[in-house]
Structures are given as structure tokens and as C-alpha cells.
Amino acid sequence: MSTQEEALEQERPASDHFMDLSGITKSFYGRTVLKRVDFTLDAGEIAVLIGKSGSGKSTLLRIIAGLTKADDGDIDMMGERVVIGGEYQKTWKAARDQVGMIFQNYTLWPHLSVRQNLALAPKKVLGESDKVIVERAERALAEVGMAHHLNSRCGQLSGGERQRVAIARALMMRPRLLLCDEMTSALDPPVAAEVLGVITKLKEEEGIGCVLVTHDMAFAAKAADRVSYFEEGVIAEEGDPRRLLSEPETPGLRKFVDAVR
């Protein structure tokens, strides 16, 4: 982008959506894995990303989280243009602080207690006092149904409990958006459904939005405001989950829905 184009870009008002990605493009070793992807999310919405392995879902989440840099594309968040032409702007950090992440293997420290795990980021990043941290930890644990586990050692928790604690840890930073990448893939279906139920509750009670990658179509049908189907680096189909999953239009989505059903 030329300096002049960049100046024009900065003048264009940022999007009214909570988050607005446009033209996100990414290649690895000459192979394009995201091809000018556009994606919007309104405050407190749950968006579910589906698609075959390798279609680009995780890469998109990682770009939103700032863990992978896009080659091109813009990101607006909360009325600020935080990424221009793939470059993170100064406004990025403040927006990024409102985004929490939960991954399948985003491990807690097993030898530390739940409280210690929850305290790490707020202490280091926000410099919060122990009193504030404990109060917030109690509240976050209550929200994920783990109120009695403040002093449990993380290594002794079940998989489902650990992912609840991972959600609580994200809540410690008071996010307005959670990014969840296959966070229940290692769990048995009933346990996974309970953990995903926490996401719905956070939306309803706290207005926290979520972009969630999952193969759980029951959750998508029930809880998603919108489903986006990824195919080879593009969103090939997108819309209301009930319509999308019951009457898929693209052959790829039809096949995908049959395969995961």
C-alpha cells in the first residue's frame, strides 16, 4: 500500500460492527491459505466457524488474536482501525486486551492451583492486587460452574473442568470477545456440551461475544447467531445456522454436514 493509500485508509471511518475483517489474506511458503476473507461480528454474537481440517479456520483466529500476522487485509475492532494492510497499528493493543483465547491445548500449569493459574495474567499484565484478583477469580469460577475449585491443583482436574478453568482464566482479563479453537475436541460429547453451554451463558448474562471453531453441529444449530463454512481459505457459505445446516447450498458444505452428522 502506498503512503497516500494508507492516509486515505486511515481517514475512512472504522466499521460500526464490533469486529470487521476485510480482505484478510495469508500465505505460508507460497501457498495461500486465506484468500481475501471478509468477516464481521456484532457485540455479544456467537459465530461458529466450520470446515474441513486445513481450510484456514485456526489461521483466521490466530490473526485476530495477533499470534499470526496477515499478509494483507484490515481489521476494525470496537470502532478502531487496528490492522491496516496486515500491519498492527498502535490502537491494536487496547483492542487486543479485550480478547480472550481458549484453545484445545492451551494448557494450564498443572502443578499450580486454579487460583494461581487465574492470577498470572492479571498480576503480570494489569498489576492487580491480590485482593482484587481473588475476588475476580471467585466470580469467574462461579460463572463457569467451578466455584469450589479455587484451591484445587489444575493437574488433578478432569478435561472438562480444565477447559472451564481455561474459560475462567480468559474471563479474568474482562474480555468482550472470546476466541475458542476446538476447545472441546478432546472431551466426551456430554462434557463438551456442558463446556459449550458456558459460552452461551456468558453471551446471555455478560454480553460476551465469541468466535468458535467446533465440529459440534448441535451446538452450532442451537447457540450460534451465524455459521461460516470455510473451504480452501474462503468462506464458501455463511448464514443462519438452522438454514445453513439443514439446507446447505454449496456441494462442499453438503458433504461436510453429512460427514459430521
Interface mask toward Mg ion for 68-97; x: CB under 5 A = ------------------------------
Q: Report yes or no: 189 and 142 within 8 Å, Cβ to Cβ.
A: no
Contacted by 51, from ligand ADP, Mg ion, none: CB < 5 to 8 Å by type: ligand ADP
- Shortest reach from residue 48's CB to ligand ADP, in Å: 13
Residue 228 interacting with Mg ion (CB under 5 A): no
Return the residue of 7, 28, 36, 43 that touches ligand ADP, per CB under 6 A.
Answer: 28
> Is 58 a residue that touches ligand ADP (CB under 6 A)?
yes
Shortest CB 111 distance to ligand ADP, Å: 29
Binding flag, residue 59, Mg ion (CB under 5 A): no
Identify the H or E element spanning 188. Answer: none
Distance CA 211, CA 182 (A): 11
Q: Is 59 in the site for ligand ADP (CB under 6 A)?
A: yes
Q: Which stretch binds ligand ADP (CB under 6 A): 52-60, 130-138, 166-174, 204-212?
A: 52-60
E-state strands within the chain: 19-28, 31-41, 46-51, 72-77, 80-84, 87-88, 99-103, 177-181, 209-213, 226-231, 234-239
What is d(CA 82, CA 217) in angstroms, rounded to the nearest whole number? 32
Q: Does residue 58 touch Mg ion according to CB under 5 A? A: yes
How far, in Å, CA of 88 to CA of 79, rounded?
Answer: 15
Sheet hosting strand 72-77, strand order edge to edge: 31-41, 19-28, 72-77, 80-84, 87-88
Please report, as ranges, the residues that interact with ligand ADP according to CB under 6 A: 28, 33, 51, 53-59, 230
